[in-house]
């Protein structure tokens, strides 16, 4: 029984590519693992198809930075959210989106670093 | 991002919905094909089965919507988030669940009388094909061909897998001639239906792989290969039932009834694995044609 479970687990690992392969995140601004001198005022995600952004959470050192996501916006291949004034630090971005074409969920995480001490630009309103 | 707890929940909900919907729809098809060969008590048991499977299908569909929202939010709070649930509903889940529930309601009510068997079959087909309202085939573009192929494939799956429980209900009586007559009648129609479902599945797969049959080059293709291994296994069992067991049943061999019950149990298990694998890769992997 243990052997067959391990075989099944090995088969799943072999078969599984990158998870959630429907809508794909092509790029982001700031990019994943970017080292920024100045704090960004917005965050943009570009996908290979139209999506509706469902959730975007931004955390730094375990602290949640409030970000507003407009779920009523029509689906588009590129979505942007305004960011509050960010100080130096490492930021984790966790996002999830829904593809209106097939109803599937896409999601992912990435991080970027702000090395400057103070926000360079005022947040967009 | 790797799959988490709520994604596993979504896959389980999808698998249950597939099994319950195909179970209800297939039992209605079976009743239509074999009703004349069945005793009133058997028909009654199968009606109860249709009703129970239909209720489970509706609950499974609801669980899919809730777990999709939880998967997006990353925790259970998504299940209470009206705006997230609304997004999921509007992105196809509403159409799929609505047409499924309506189809099952018609199937449950109309299957009680032989005079409305055609209407019951229509409802069962609407329920089985409701999965085509959402998913990769629909995303292939404005062309209706992928949706038609998927609908044919889904109806065939319901006809085949959904007949397993009704067949085991008949086999439970232990009468080889009675069981053999039902198995022979079902088998004669199933040969055509299974041929159509395999042909439709092959063409749909070719479209989803980007007009190619290169299975090993993508995660999606490798999952399909894994599924095909199980499909080959269930096909072997079906061939064994049709060509070896059914003639023995028709000759009055009582041991063949017990053997049929055993192979049906294995077929149900393999069928469950096929549905679970399908639910997994349609959730976790995208077809190359949509890259």
pLDDT score at B260: 97
pLDDT score at B291: 73
Chain B residues within an 8 Å CB radius of A20: 1, 3, 284, 286
pLDDT score at B114: 87
Q: A124 pLDDT exceeds 50? A: no
Q: A77 pLDDT exceeds 60? A: yes
Pairwise CA distance, residues B181 & B221, whole Å: 40
Q: A5 pLDDT exceeds 60? A: no
For chain B, list residues whose CB is within 8 angstroms of any CB belonging to chain A: 1-3, 7, 10, 68, 71-74, 83-84, 87-88, 90-93, 96, 134-136, 138-139, 218-220, 222-223, 226, 280-281, 283-286, 290-291
pLDDT score at A14: 45
How far does A60 lie from chain B, in Å, by closest CA? 18
Handedness of CA B138, A69, A26, B77 (dihedral sign): negative
Burial state string for B125-140 with b = 16 or more CB within 10 A and e = fewer than 16: bbbbbbbbbbbbbbbb
pLDDT score at B147: 92
pLDDT score at B181: 97
pLDDT score at B255: 96
Q: What is the DSSP string of B100-125?
A: HHHHHHHHHHHTTSGGGHHHHHHHHH
pLDDT score at A3: 54
Question: Which of B3, B134, B220 is the closest to A102 by Cβ?
Answer: B134
Q: A1 pLDDT exceeds 50? A: no
Binned average pLDDT, 10 residues per bin, chain B of 291 residues: 80 97 98 94 96 98 96 93 94 94 97 93 98 82 86 97 97 96 96 95 92 86 95 97 96 96 97 96 85 73
Q: A18 pLDDT exceeds 50? A: no
Which two tokens mark A51? Answer: 């999506």
Asked if B87 and A20 come within 8 Å (Cβ–Cβ), the reply is no
Pairwise CA distance, residues B125 & B29, whole Å: 9
Pairwise CA distance, residues B215 & B224, whole Å: 7
Which two tokens mark B115? Answer: 């005079």
DSSP-derived 3-state class of residue A112: strand
What pLDDT digit, counting tens, does each position of A80-103 carry?
999 999 999 999 999 999 988 788
How big is the A-B interface in CB pairs under 8 Å?
100
Task: Quote ipTM for the complex.
Answer: 0.78
Query: Residue A125: is it exposed, middle or buried by C-beta count within 10 angstroms (0-12/13-18/19+)?
Result: exposed
Q: A12 pLDDT exceeds 60? A: no
B37-42 LR contacts (CB < 8 Å, sep 24+): B37/B178, B37/B181, B37/B182, B37/B185, B38/B170, B38/B182, B39/B173, B42/B169, B42/B170, B42/B173
Which two tokens mark B35? Answer: 């009703």
Q: Give the pLDDT mean for A16-33.
A: 76
pLDDT score at B138: 77
**Interface check A49 vs B, CB under 8 A:** yes
Asked if A96 and B92 come within 8 Å (Cβ–Cβ), the reply is no
């Amino acid at each position: 029984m243990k052997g067959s479970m391990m075989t099944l687990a090995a088969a799943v690992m072999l078969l599984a590519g990158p998870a959630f392969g429907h809508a794909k995140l092509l790029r982001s601004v700031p990019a994943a693992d970017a080292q920024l001198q100045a704090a960004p005022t917005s965050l943009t995600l570009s996908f290979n198809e139209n999506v509706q952004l469902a959730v975007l959470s931004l955390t730094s050192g375990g602290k949640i930075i409030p970000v507003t996501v407009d779920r009523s916006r029509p689906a588009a291949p590129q979505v942007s959210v305004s960011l509050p004034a960010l100080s130096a630090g490492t930021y984790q971005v966790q996002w999830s989106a829904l593809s209106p074409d097939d109803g599937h969920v896409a999601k992912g995480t990435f991080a970027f670093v702000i090395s400057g001490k103070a926000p360079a630009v005022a947040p967009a309103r | 991002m790797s799959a988490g707890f709520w994604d596993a929940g979504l896959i389980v909900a999808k698998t249950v919905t597939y099994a319950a919907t195909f179970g209800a729809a297939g039992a209605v098809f079976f009743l239509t094909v074999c009703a004349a060969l069945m005793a009133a008590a058997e028909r009654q048991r199968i009606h109860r089965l249709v009703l129970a499977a239909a209720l489970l299908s509706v609950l499974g569909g609801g669980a899919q919507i809730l777990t999709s929202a939880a998967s997006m939010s990353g925790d259970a709070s998504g299940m209470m988030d009206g705006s997230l649930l609304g997004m999921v509903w509007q992105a196809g889940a509403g159409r799929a669940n609505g047409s499924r529930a309506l189809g099952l309601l018609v199937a449950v009510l109309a299957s009680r009388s032989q005079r409305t068997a055609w209407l019951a079959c229509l409802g069962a087909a609407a329920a089985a094909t409701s999965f085509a309202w959402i998913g990769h085939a629909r995303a292939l573009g404005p062309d209706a061909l992928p949706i038609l192929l998927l609908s044919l494939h889904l109806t065939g799956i319901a006809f085949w897998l959904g007949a397993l429980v009704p067949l085991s209900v008949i086999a439970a009586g232990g009468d080889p001639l009675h069981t053999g007559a039902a198995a022979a009648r079902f088998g004669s129609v199933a040969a055509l239906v299974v041929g159509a479902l395999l042909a439709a599945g092959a063409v749909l797969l070719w479209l989803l792989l980007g007009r190619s049959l290169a299975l090993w080059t993508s995660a999606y293709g490798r999952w399909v290969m894994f599924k095909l291994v199980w499909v080959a296994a269930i096909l072997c069992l079906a061939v064994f039932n049709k060509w070896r067991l059914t003639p023995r049943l028709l000759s009055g061999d009582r041991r063949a009834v017990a053997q049929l019950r055993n192979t049906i149990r294995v077929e149900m298990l393999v069928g469950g694995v096929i549905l679970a694998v399908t639910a997994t890769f349609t959730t976790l992997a995208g077809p190359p044609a949509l890259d």
